[in-house]
Structure 1
């Protein structure tokens, strides 16, 4: 074999060796080192949440007091009945409300509590015997002749989770137990309508999963003025003094918060964390164009002009950039001497008694007028904090989703008491927040999975996978606790689910390779691999051509 042949054979072996190294070592190594890391996610469980199916279980206990049942009827007690209400919602969401009602007779201690002079004292005494768990209700059926309730009242709703219901005059005369229970059921439903959640409450928090105009949402949705569920809220009380030369204002905001606001926030602690601060702003005006009204002998603001009042003062209220929690602003405004007194008119051109208004999902404003009869400036003003906080607390309840109870004939609702919130009002909020947290967390998780499916260059690290798994596990626990009627645990798990889902969705690592698509990869790799790949490919093609030519020559010699 000549030197030329040896040199050509050596070049062919070198080309084949380089190609083998590239194909069997370089390509797998490059593929391995450039592959996007994606940790395992529980896709099967996440797909189940795309169609949200919730079952809300409410435990109701109906207790018959002495004199409401005959001895024959008492022998057949206790009795348990279950009633389901199913609702289909757009987007694959279905809701089932299960009311498990247990009927029994009152114990000796409960009979003693039912002998209290007033219904309020009875409610307090019954609560000291045993405190009902969150989300459950106890309805006491008292004789028709009982003096606990006024003659025109058939249902009394207490501050806790108990209610008193007056029995019919013909409840036990010649009727079976089934007929007696059927006669009590309408009034028990009235108690549920007031003290427990309604379908409208649940649909309001599921508005993001319902197609607008589909008819599933209630026509009059008061939830647009309340804040969405959040792990925390920032409450700020601001005193606006546009004319310090005319007024020297004194307000005991610290004492007022401790006396009036803190009891309510302590009651709401299962729902969220609250932080409260205050400030005094000088030379800060509201954006209004007040006109003097001869009829009322005062400057007035019409209802249609209130939307423009907030904007000029909002820039001076301070920034909430340090926290992601939504802010609730409450402004106490003292009009200057040129626009005093200042009153708010309702759409019917009547004076608003509180002289205040609230802005949906923002806060409230109260205008505080003072008497300048002495004519000496500046006027020392000691603000009546009880009056001011009474207005702000009513606005705070509305902004947090506590709906006022409509007055109904025959139903008497006890005032919320010192804390400003009844136990059953807290339960209604807990039902709504639990469902809203579950719906929000499922939407966040399913949106994240859809995003990861569409963009395969996003890295899924172990931290994201852990947060997603935690969110899925918390969602499963929250739905299971709702089905079991354990409202407190359901709320806690739903809060954990929404926190874990948001941590996964907003993880900064998701954005590292988000804007590095495949076409840009080719733009980077081609200048690196093309100068080496083209000569190597041409050498391999030449070797293949020579091998084919040799085979043809051998076949020709044989022939």
Structure 2
């Protein structure tokens, strides 16, 4: 059974002269940028500035402004009760919540109790190319699927990755190591036949047919087979002329604005329609320059969802600042680290419990000293992570949880244990019985004959001379 208790430590103080000067600006965005160098930069911390009711730094009708760093502005309000309610709502937005913890512990909860967001996010995993890590390592696979006879698709994927994707990956460097690959697939098959809509003169992909789209394309990617770690695929599909334009509909039959969909823990696909030639005599193939800004907006939004960075429902008087080119705010990174730390600790507990159950089942197993050392190290690191998590030291808690996962996985998958795991006692009987049974049958028959002869000799009367 798993239970988690949350505790918030609140410290009140008056603003400094520098903070007062930073708050005397025209907009909340300027105040957030000016306050950032003056704040506590430690992971997991949160600074809330209570501004007067008449302050003009917050827009009209806005009571709470959430910046893209680790600070927020709250209008004082009419009473302490109102202020306390706003602070409670703000904490739920910028810190971890019961739903985020439940998502991290989704492996220990029944599927019926999980929200769609909990099923969507990518699970933590060990290993990267450079060093062991308990954090997922997505490998982006943008790919265009077009008919080269009709479309000459040109996309500057390298510039798009450097401009839009790399800032997000740099921000997530604490969480994961990334490798981004790209490829172009020609003559890709959807696996389903789009339905033609006469009213709009377009082809439609309904929501119930979307799961059948992934398998045929995934078989040609080969990224999952080539990587030891979790892979996220982001595909750009350019439909062929015979099925163009192609649009995606949701469950209610309404068109999807982004013309894209995503699959939990797999990735996303975006359908990119190109304009038809102006005249039937137009020369083919038609040159197509992909709008990478529109494509990357969709892919980055899907990446956020797959990492569990969905936005909470906000009250109407809350204003949430966009993270900009970095893709996620500092406080969102903290929420991600909270969730991954809890998930790592739960993973260590599950792994060591499975190892203990394995040792109970196999009585003749021999535990080497290095395996025992890894188990002790995993337990010590997990205890350290929980202790640091309780005191709010998020970064050190996260690092300790990674070490705990690494040690527990090394102990469980030690080569000295694997051969016993795959060679239990029942397989020994299956191997040795065919060898010894042919020899045992004549031996047993001979013993039975000897026993019968001995009994017969005992029954015969003894002759007396």
TM-score (norm. length: structure 2):
0.86
2:149 matches 1:259: no
Say whether the 8 Å CA contact 2:122–2:136 is kept in structure 1.
Answer: no
Q: Which secondary structure state, in structure 1, belongs to the residue aligned with residue 232 of structure 2?
A: strand
Distance 2:274 2:141 in 1: 20
Given the alignment of the two structures, is residue 431 of structure 1 paired with residue 338 of structure 2, yes or no?
A: yes
Q: Find the counterpart in structure 2 of residue 187 from structure 1.
A: 86
The one of 394, 404, 410 aligned to 1:487: 394
Pair 1:472-2:379 in alignment: yes
In structure 2, the residue matched to 1:200 is 99
**Partner-residue secondary structure (3-state), 1:274:** coil
Partner of 2:403: 496
Measured after TM superposition, the shift of residue 225 of structure 1 is: 0.9
The one-character-per-residue Cα deviations of 1:224-259 (angstroms, maximum 9, x if unpaired) are 011111234232323233411001111111111111
* Structure 1 segment 112-511 matched on structure 2, within 5 A: 112-169=21-78, 171=79, 180=80, 182-210=81-109, 217=113, 220-230=115-125, 231-374=135-278, 375-511=282-418
**TM-score (norm. length: structure 1):** 0.72
Partners of 1:210 and 1:336 lie apart in 2 by 43
Q: Which structure has the greater CA radius of gyration?
A: 1
- From the superposition, tell whether residues 290 and 100 of structure 1 become closer, same or farther in structure 2 (CA, over 3 Å): same
The offset of 1:322, in angstroms, is: 4.1
Q: Which whole-Å CA distance do the structure 2 matches of 1:365 and 1:353 have between them?
A: 14
Separation in 1, partners of 2:107, 2:194: 39
Per the alignment, residue 102 of structure 1 pairs with: 11
1:534 — aligned with what? Answer: none
CA distance in 2, matches of 1:332, 1:381: 13
Preserved contact between residue 457 and residue 516 of structure 1 (Cα < 8 Å): no
Query: SS at 2:188's partner residue?
Result: coil
In the alignment, the residues of structure 2 paired with residue 319 and residue 237 of structure 1 have an alpha-carbon distance, to the nearest angstrom, of 8
Runs of at least 4 residues off by over 6 Å: 521-525
Q: Distance in 2 between matches of 1:190 and 1:413?
A: 13
CA–CA separation in structure 2 for the residues paired with 1:183 and 1:332? 48
Which structure 2 residue ranges, 5 or more long, are not aligned?
126-134, 444-465
- CA distance in 2 between partners of 1:499 and 1:415 (Å): 35
| Contact 1:459 1:513 survives alignment (8 Å) | no
Maintained 8 Å contact 1:299/1:339: yes
Task: State the secondary structure of the residue aligned to 2:324.
Answer: coil
Q: What is the number of residues matched between the two proteins?
A: 423
Cα drift, residue 183 of structure 1: 4.6
SS of the aligned residue for 2:395 comes to: helix
Preserved contact between residue 223 and residue 231 of structure 2 (Cα < 8 Å)? no
SS in 1 for 2:221: coil
Query: Using the alignment, how far apart are the partners of 1:183 and 1:312 within structure 2?
Result: 55
CA contact (8 A) 2:39 2:47 kept: no
Unaligned ranges ≥5, structure 1:
1-90, 172-179, 532-559
Structure having the higher strand fraction is 1
Counterparts of 1:74-85 in structure 2, within 5 Å, are none
RMSD: 2.2
